[in-house]
Structure 1
Amino acid sequence: MEPAPGSAGSAGSGNGRWAATACVVTGASRGFGRSLARLLAPRLGPGSVLVLLARSAEPLMELAAELRGGGGTGLRVLCVAADLGSEEGLRRATAALREVLPAEPFGRLILVNNAGSLGDISKSFLDLTDPDEINTYFAFNVTSALCLTSTALQAFGKRPGCSRTVVNISSLCALKPFKSWALYCSGKASRDMMFQVLALEEPDVRVLNYAPGPLDTDMQLLARTETGDLEMRQYFQSLQEGRKLIDCTVSAQKLVKLLEEDTFQSGAHLDFYDV
């Protein structure tokens, strides 16, 4: 049975912060993941741990130092520098979760699957003939999200009175095809469906597919400069020129609000513009 709306947020510490929480954010070194980690950290109450995962060690450590020093909360912040697209990196990440998540009496688990890539958007569908390129893309964008999520849920386990929430950072591309974006669109669609299955199989896990909107990030810069299809490239350019790109912190604030209110239907796809 699905928890009553607000049940996860009710495990607060009475001062606006959540009770002891194990929070995991992938792709945390930059962009949306970095902004989200900054917003989540002050909400994590005593005994919480924030696990930051990304490829690049240096920006991760810089972010961790910033978050540890914020407000004297005593928050534990752990960095795991790992390439989730490689078997070795994924093993390192899952091993870290197996070590951290069962170790403390956390009242809540929040896992945000944010890490992702565009792939080679200069190519059309008919250019995608190299199986190594395609398999590498899906290893990072789909396989790692599945393995990390299943590992985290197993390691945390079912604990009486505790809540578990899994967020997939989705996209309009999960629902709508974009020319030159065959890999990205199919990867996002795969992830949405994968997490809908999780919501059905594990009704006590809260699952959300959140599309953050067209963010002002390095990924959007690639979109408007490297997209092979001219019409699509001009569309992305128009978003930037028309000041229609969304600041990462603004979108992350909406996600945090969704997590705090906890009234979404488990497995739902919610867009920035829907909430």
Structure 2
Amino acid sequence: MAKTSGSRFHLGQALCIVTGASRGFGRAVAREMSQLMKPRSVIVLVARTEDDLRSLQKELAESEEGRAGLVAKCVVADLGQTEGVESVVGVSKESFSDDMDHIILVNNAASLGDVSRYAISFTNMAEVDAYLSFNVSSSLCLTASILQAFPQRAGLRRTVINISSLCALQPFSSWVLYCTGKAARDMIFRVLAEEEPDLRVLNYSPGPLDTDMYMVARTRSADPGVRKSFSDMIDQGQVLTCEKSCKKLMKLLLDDKYTSGDHIDIYDV
């Protein structure tokens, strides 16, 4: 990422936690964030897939930032379980030092859910609860736990980012779980922004991204119109790389002009 404003570092000496960091957009966020933090910052990489996390940890350790003192730590955890959330909080607390001046939490981890079915088919409450536990409950509980672990104090900035979607605002046929989860998460962070005026809270919608999730969406969605829409975006060159969208997110964070709690789409930047 190009450096701006004359200084190489813009996010301070930070503790940054990125969920869903092993691949796709979360991996891109971890890479970009690492370039904007001062030496002796710590980035906590969270995901369920250990091999992918370890490869990212190695990449960051061997980067210019890693050689300058950035520390990358891995937490292999299922955030749909209480133990997973607790393990992230524990490693974060161990990683924090008094000279750090910024806490950044990126709630990126999410799953698409079963898009091969329509809403009327979801009669199994346990199935729905499991989806919501990973996609909604975990982000609220992790965020609340991190904010309790690192309460407001003089000289400490706290930033919470929710990776959102157009689906938080618009219904997509056969996407009842994903749309519900994203809408709920947006509201969680809008409420948080109202309750905690010292926080910087952002709901960022990264746009259509070239990821495994996108390929599932265009091939398995039950609604033929949705499948066609995703295929058309590929044909028309509208699908974005994770890196391109991530640079827009970094610009939002560096400019720091958004209203806390806002939902901002990549096309709004």
State whether TM-score is above 0.5: yes
Task: Give the counterpart letter for 1:88 in structure 2.
Answer: E
Q: Report if aligned partners of 1:19, 1:46 keep a CA contact under 8 Å in 2.
A: no
- The TM-score with structure 2 as length reference comes to 0.94
Alignment-derived partner of residue 131 in structure 1: 125
Alignment-derived partner of residue 94 in structure 1: 89
Alignment-derived partner of residue 73 in structure 2: 78
Summarize deviations over 1:28-71 as a string: whole Å, max 9, x none.
00000101111111211022100000011111111011111111
Q: Report if aligned partners of 1:21, 1:110 keep a CA contact under 8 Å in 2.
A: yes
Shift in Å, 1:92 = 2.1
Higher mean C-alpha deviation, range 133-142 or range 34-43: 34-43
Work out the CA distance in 2 between the residues paired with 1:265 and 1:17: 19
Shift in Å, 1:15 = 4.0
Shift in Å, 1:95 = 2.6
Alignment-derived partner of residue 265 in structure 2: 271
Asked whether 1:256 is paired with 2:247, we answer no
Q: Report if aligned partners of 2:164, 2:186 keep a CA contact under 8 Å in 1.
A: yes
3-state SS of the aligned residue for 1:136? helix
Alignment-derived partner of residue 148 in structure 2: 154
Alignment-derived partner of residue 9 in structure 1: none
Higher mean C-alpha deviation, range 166-175 or range 225-234: 225-234
Match of 1:32 among 16, 20, 25: 25
- Unaligned 5+ segments in structure 2 are none
Work out the CA distance in 2 between the residues paired with 1:18 and 1:170: 22
Work out the CA distance in 2 between the residues paired with 1:104 and 1:61: 27
Asked whether 1:59 is paired with 2:57, we answer no
Shift in Å, 1:203 = 0.2
Asked whether 1:217 is paired with 2:211, we answer yes
Shift in Å, 1:90 = 2.5
Shift in Å, 1:74 = 1.0
- The TM-score with structure 1 as length reference comes to 0.92
Work out the CA distance in 2 between the residues paired with 1:148 and 1:41: 21
Higher mean C-alpha deviation, range 17-26 or range 165-174: 17-26
Query: How many residues align structurally?
Result: 263
3-state SS of the aligned residue for 1:79? strand
Q: Report if aligned partners of 1:17, 1:42 keep a CA contact under 8 Å in 2.
A: no
Alignment-derived partner of residue 175 in structure 2: 181
Task: Give the counterpart letter for 2:83 in structure 1.
Answer: E
3-state SS of the aligned residue for 1:28? coil
Structure with bigger RCO (C-alpha 8 Å, 6+ apart):
1
Alignment-derived partner of residue 104 in structure 2: 110
C-alpha change, 1:243 and 1:15, in structure 2 (3 Å) is closer
RMSD: 1.5
Q: Report if aligned partners of 1:42, 1:73 keep a CA contact under 8 Å in 2.
A: no
3-state SS of the aligned residue for 1:121? coil
Once the two structures are superposed, the pairs formed by residues 168-207 of structure 1 within 5 Å of their partners are 168-207=162-201
3-state SS of the aligned residue for 2:114? coil
Task: Give the counterpart letter for 2:16 in structure 1.
Answer: C
- Unaligned 5+ segments in structure 1 are 1-11
